[in-house]
């Protein structure tokens, strides 16, 4: 009976976790974060303490993508190929076209500076969502008396999605872009919001609770399963039921699906980047 149930679970969720192999593909970083795959054929990620963004090219290795990044953390691409980055030191979100200047997307809410934008995602239609917690010294320097989740419309209008006393961290979208997922590091939970066609969020609710370790970045695959970084990577179905736990020798911080077919899971974990070849594709919004 158990073997039948496992076979059914694999068929429904698209991944046989008994066959996965974890490979270290980049090392020597201080704290790797903010992974995102470029359609030009490489992985971009942030090395936050070193104030740089790196580029990993399969078959070639890792090189510097950008220096003096103002504490770059989370990254995301939009459907136009523009790269969005959360700058924790300047407390803003910026955007860049290929070889173009940085444009400020958000830096103040109601006249006050943001805390320290952390992670970001962009829907296919150009709606942007990001988290704005304050960790460590950031808490002593903040102007806002809450930790926020924000929405930026395609026209550039900034609005508050949620005002939390606890700290939001990672952020992701469902494959159809109708559900927004946010990790709550203090509550060790994943919260979900429904998204309307115009990008407005509603119906906040708890989806996953009691995650082992504070959750950080998260991503969805094409089946709607969620991959949550914490003490390794925890995999849940769209209803919040745990499917698997991927163990790592370092604490995972963020992750992204990549390679030309978006069927390799890249995981940033403190000093290293790992990758796993999957049976399922990632949910891609760009």
Helix locations, the chain, DSSP H: 2-13, 137-141
Rounded Cα distance, 87 and 72, in Å: 4
| Phi-psi map region of 71: left, alpha, beta (phi>0 left; psi -120 to 50 alpha) | left
pLDDT of residue 8: 45
Tokens of 37: 């795959």
pLDDT of residue 2: 43
Each residue's pLDDT tens digit, 191-239: 999 999 999 999 999 999 999 999 999 999 999 999 999 999 999 999 9
Q: Say what the pLDDT of residue 12 is.
A: 54
Going through 39-157 in order, the beta strands assigned E by DSSP cover 42-47, 52-57, 61-67, 72-77, 83-87, 92-96, 102-106, 108-109, 112-113, 120-122, 128-132, 147-152
C-alpha span between 189 and 207 (Å, rounded): 8
Could you state, in order of their start, the residue ranges of all structural domains in the chain? 19-277
CATH 3.40.50.620 corresponds to the domain 19-277:
no
C-alpha span between 42 and 92 (Å, rounded): 25
Averaged over successive runs of 10 residues, the pLDDT of the chain (286 residues) comes to: 45 73 98 98 98 98 97 98 97 93 97 98 98 88 95 98 98 98 98 98 98 97 98 97 96 98 97 98 96
Which residues contact residue 173 at a Cβ distance below 8 angstroms, ignoring those fewer than 6 apart?
Answer: 121, 123, 129, 179, 180, 181, 195, 220, 283, 285
Q: How many CA atoms lie within 13 A of 211 on its CB side?
A: 32
Nearest-angstrom CA–CA distance, 138 and 159: 22
Q: Which H or E run contains 20?
A: none
């Amino acid at each position: 009976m158990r073997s039948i149930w496992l076979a059914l679970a694999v068929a429904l969720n698209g991944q046989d976790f008994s066959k996965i192999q974890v490979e270290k593909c980049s090392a020597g970083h201080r704290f790797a974060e903010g992974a995102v795959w470029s359609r030009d054929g490489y992985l971009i990620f942030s090395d936050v303490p070193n104030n740089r963004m790196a580029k990993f090219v399969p078959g070639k290795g890792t090189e510097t993508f950008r220096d003096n990044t103002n504490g770059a953390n989370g990254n995301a691409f939009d459907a136009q190929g523009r790269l969005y980055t959360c700058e924790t030191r300047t407390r803003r979100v910026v955007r860049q076209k290929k070889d173009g200047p940085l444009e400020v997307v958000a830096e103040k809410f109601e006249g006050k500076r943001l805390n320290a934008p952390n992670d970001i995602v962009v829907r296919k239609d150009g709606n942007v969502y990001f988290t704005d917690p304050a960790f460590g010294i950031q808490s002593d320097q903040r102007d806002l008396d809450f930790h926020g989740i924000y929405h930026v419309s395609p026209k550039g209008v900034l609005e508050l999605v949620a005002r939390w006393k606890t700290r939001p961290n990672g952020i992701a979208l469902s494959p159809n872009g109708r559900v927004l997922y946010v990790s709550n590091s203090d509550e060790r939970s994943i919260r979900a919001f429904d998204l309307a066609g115009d990008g407005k969020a509603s119906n906040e609710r708890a989806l996953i609770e009691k995650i082992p370790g504070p959750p950080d970045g998260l991503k969805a695959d094409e089946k709607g399963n969620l991959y949550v970084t914490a003490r390794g990577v925890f995999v849940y179905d769209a209803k919040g039921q745990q499917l698997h736990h991927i163990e790592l020798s370092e604490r995972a911080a963020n992750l992204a699906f990549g390679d030309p077919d978006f069927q390799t899971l890249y995981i940033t974990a403190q000093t290293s980047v790992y990758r796993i070849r999957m049976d399922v594709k990632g949910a891609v919004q760009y």
